[in-house]
Amino acid sequence: MGASRRSTALVVISTALVALWVILAAFPFLWTLWGSFKVQGDFFSRSDWMNALTGPLTQEQTGGAFTGQGYWGAWVESGFWRNVVNTGIVVVCTVVISLTLGTLGGYALARSGFRYAFWLLMIALVFRAMPHITLVSGYLLPFFEWNLWGHLPTAIIVLVAINQPFTLWMLHSFFLNIPKDLDESAMVDGCTRFQAFRHVIMPVMWPGVITTGLFSFLLAYNDFAVTAMLLSSENQTMVPRIASFLGSVQQEGNVMFAVAAVVSATAPLFVLILFFQRQIVSGLTAGAVKG
């Protein structure tokens, strides 16, 4: 398909479409990032939206073009740092446990030729479709009864379980790409199945594990339904905390605390895409392109 054969009009239209999409995708985040360093009167300015860019009220109230008031208020005054720490704990534990269980299970599913392996994958697909909040409604009463409610480990193990169907599918498709001869020859040389898995297969599986880990990370980091319902207020993670910010903050006129918290929670995701764009793209297509 030579580029010369394309009409100029088509190129212009399709480039314009892509440009429009990029603006739609990026502008809201850049706008909020910029605005989070202004005072509320500028970011929410009825008279002139340019105020959010130039910040006349910010100049007036704080003496500078930018202010860190929102961040100070959120992180220090409202104790958002504690939620950041909780999110860190939940996310790291969820990813590590999910990958440990998922690699074992995914490997077994990829290497078993029996019919039940296929049906397990189908059941996992059905489990993946379950709305998380319906599962939460199943947990709450038993967790209250057994005093499991409100603790970080409870949320972690629940997130691991919810993560499993997806993790199994993805790792299974990565394991299918590794030739069977590899582990079989290791076993001929006297390895047990587990030793072959541990010393021969895992070293070549790292790209797949990292990609799957990214998606486990996203699921745990972005979760709202599970963490909002299963964690007590002192153990809350970032996303439910931001949601509860909204109620309290609007009455006090501290919307900028919430804006700053939102930008703080977006920043790690931004960095993640920056470094792992290739893995994210390959992960999204892993399930689809290979069948």
Of residues 69-88, which lie at the interface with another protein (CB under 8 A)?
A: none
Least distance CB 48 / another protein (angstroms): 8
Least distance CB 46 / another protein (angstroms): 5
Least distance CB 40 / another protein (angstroms): 9
Residue whose CB is less far from another protein, 63 or 288 = 288
Using the rule CB under 8 A, which residue among 142, 153, 207, 253 binds another protein?
142
Who contacts 240 (Cβ-Cβ below 8 Å, separation ≥6)? 224, 227, 228, 231
Residue whose CB is less far from another protein, 55 or 102 = 102
Subset of residues 79 to 138 that bind another protein, contact rule: CB under 8 A? 100-102, 104-105, 107-109, 111-114, 117-118, 120, 122, 124-138
Please report which residue ranges of the chain form alpha helices under DSSP H.
Answer: 8-35, 40-43, 51-54, 56-62, 69-72, 80-111, 115-129, 132-145, 152-176, 180-188, 193-196, 202-222, 225-230, 238-252, 255-289
Subset of residues 161 to 180 that bind another protein, contact rule: CB under 8 A? 161-162, 164-165, 168
CA-CA distances (angstroms) from residue 248 to 75, 253, 261? 16, 9, 14
Residues 183 and 201 sit within 8 Å (Cβ to Cβ): yes
The residues pairing with 128 across neighbouring beta strands, listed in sequence order, are none
Subset of residues 194 to 223 that bind another protein, contact rule: CB under 8 A? 197, 218, 221-222
CA-CA distances (angstroms) from residue 70 to 45, 151, 218, 266? 17, 29, 26, 15
Least distance CB 65 / another protein (angstroms): 18
- Contact window for another protein (CB under 8 A) among 57-65, 70-78, 204-212, 266-274: 266-274
Q: How far apart are CA 97 and CA 156, in angstroms?
A: 9
Residue whose CB is less far from another protein, 63 or 113 = 113
The token pair that represents 113 in the structure block = 């030729």
Least distance CB 61 / another protein (angstroms): 17
Who contacts 29 (Cβ-Cβ below 8 Å, separation ≥6)? 266, 270
Least distance CB 96 / another protein (angstroms): 13
Subset of residues 271 to 290 that bind another protein, contact rule: CB under 8 A? 272-274, 277, 280-281, 284-285, 287-289
* Three-class DSSP category at 62: helix
Using the rule CB under 8 A, which residue among 65, 92, 141, 271 binds another protein?
141
Subset of residues 145 to 164 that bind another protein, contact rule: CB under 8 A? 145, 157-158, 160-162, 164
Using the rule CB under 8 A, which residue among 22, 92, 204, 210 binds another protein?
22
Least distance CB 55 / another protein (angstroms): 14
Residue whose CB is less far from another protein, 89 or 157 = 157
Subset of residues 34 to 63 that bind another protein, contact rule: CB under 8 A? 43-46, 49, 52
Q: How far apart are CA 218 and CA 213, in angstroms?
A: 9
Residue whose CB is less far from another protein, 62 or 268 = 268
CA-CA distances (angstroms) from residue 264 to 71, 105, 275? 8, 35, 18
Q: How far apart are CA 229 and CA 227, in angstroms?
A: 6
Q: How far apart are CA 245 and CA 268, in angstroms?
A: 20
